[in-house]
Structure 1
């Protein structure tokens, strides 16, 4: 029987994190599993708690949104520790990419019985962050700005906050000149964003990279070129089902190491967190994390 340590982000979705854990904890304990709950004071503290629990041989449950999942998963990357997710944030995009059930009883069964799956992680390196490891994607441009607006939203939740944030970001955005280097080959790009995706989803269920796989050892690099704003709004709508990739303004590359730079200060984010500007280098770490899904 597995032993679990749940690390809870108490700010994720208000009280949603505690409620989500409570719903999953009941069937876990009824099955006889040992479960301890720890509350993090910060993402760095959550990572410290995760490493300690992993070293004690416990399954680490990241309870919260994509920032929590990415932070805790990144802390466990490269170790033998097992990660489980209890989604309780605005987006929950990495959980979506893993196909995790939303029903608490079904999720508990996955955590109790599923075989570990090795998935890729992303090493992120910049002047501000010498080395960070995340799970889902790194995005630079209007989407990072939109995500910043969504994180600061107080009246809207979930997909609505991302959509409102996107509208606000697009109305003020002017296309940047990017230099995107994929496995040593440079590509010049003028437009809205560059996304290095491990997961196919970001922004609360938007399929930015429909063909991305979390265990193929590659990152999908999605570049959206300059276009009239009305067309970009159409692209935003097409992100719901991934049909934006059929537009001539969208180019997709694949690689293991990607460097993104721009001609001005362009914000970039990772797994729902935005606090830095380009340039940034990202590298895929194949099969670096064991996760229950």
Structure 2
């Protein structure tokens, strides 16, 4: 029987990651599994707890949204330890990409009996942040600004907070001139954003990279170039289905190492958490993490 350590983001989703763990914990313990719970005080604390539990041979559960999933999964990347996800945040985009059912009964069966699946992770390097590893994507531009607004929202939650944050960010955005280097080849780009995606989803269910796969050893690079604001709002709506990639304003490349720079201080983010400014380098780590799904 598997042994679990749950690393809980107590503020996930506004209602608390602990609430999402209650029913699941009962089912795991009734099945005879050992479950320990740790509440994260910070991202660094969550990484420390995750690494220690992984070294002890325990399955580490990331309880919360994409921030805690990326933090815990990044800490376990390359260690051989196994990650389980308990979706309890606003976005839950990496869990969505894996097809995880958040229903406690279905999730408990996956955690108790599912086979670990190797998935890729993303190594992120910049001049202002230490090297880190995340799961879903690195996004630089108006979406990073939108995510900042969403994280600071006091009233709206979930998709509504991201949509409202997007409207606010686009209204104030001015075109950035990027230098995007994919596996050594430079691609000039002027527009709204550049996304290096491991998972197809970001921003609470928006399908930014429909063809991205978490286990193909590649990152999908989605670039949305300069366009009238009214068209960008249309593109935002098309993110629900991934239909935006068929528009001429959207270019998609694929590669293993992506460097993104710009002519001004353009913000970037990773897995809904890290806030910094360009330049940044994203490098895929193929099959570096074992996940129950």
TM range (shorter): over 0.9
Q: Distance in 2 between matches of 1:196 and 1:171?
A: 24
**For the Cα contact (< 8 Å) 1:191–1:224, is it kept in 2?**
yes
Give 1:23 deviation, angstroms: 1.7
- Cα distance in 1 for residues equivalent to 2:110 and 2:243: 31
Render the CA deviation track for 1:215-235: whole Å, top value 9, x for unaligned. Answer: 000000000000000000000
Within a 5 Å distance, the mapping from 1:12-161 to structure 2 comes to 12-161=12-161
2:5 matches 1:5: yes
Structure 1 segments of 4 or more deviating over 3 A?
A: none
User: Following the alignment from structure 2 to structure 1, what is the Cα–Cα distance between the partners of residues 8 and 107?
Assistant: 17
Deviations 1:138-180 (A, max 9, x none): 0000000000000000100000000000000000000100000
Partner of 2:264: 264
What is the Cα-based RMSD across aligned positions, in Å? 0.6
| Range moving further from structure 2, 127-136 or 242-251 | 127-136
In structure 1, the partner of 2:205 is 205
1:281 and 1:72 mapped to 2: Cα distance? 20
Q: Is the 8 A contact 2:219 2:255 kept in 1?
A: yes
Cα distance, 1:129 vs structure 2: 1.5
Ranges in structure 1 where 5+ consecutive residues have no aligned partner? none
Q: TM-score, normalised by structure 1?
A: 0.99
Confirm or deny: 8 A CA contact 1:147 1:274 kept in the other structure: no
Tell me how many residue pairs correspond in the alignment: 293
Correspondence list, 1:213-224, <5 A: 213-224=213-224
Shift of 1:102: 1.8
Secondary structure, counterpart of 2:44 in structure 1:
helix
Q: TM-score, normalised by structure 2?
A: 0.99
Mapped to 1, the partners of 2:275 and 2:106 lie a distance apart of 35
Specify the SS of the correspondent of 1:13: helix
What is the CA–CA distance in structure 2 between the aligned matches of 1:107 and 1:163, rounded to whole Å? Answer: 28
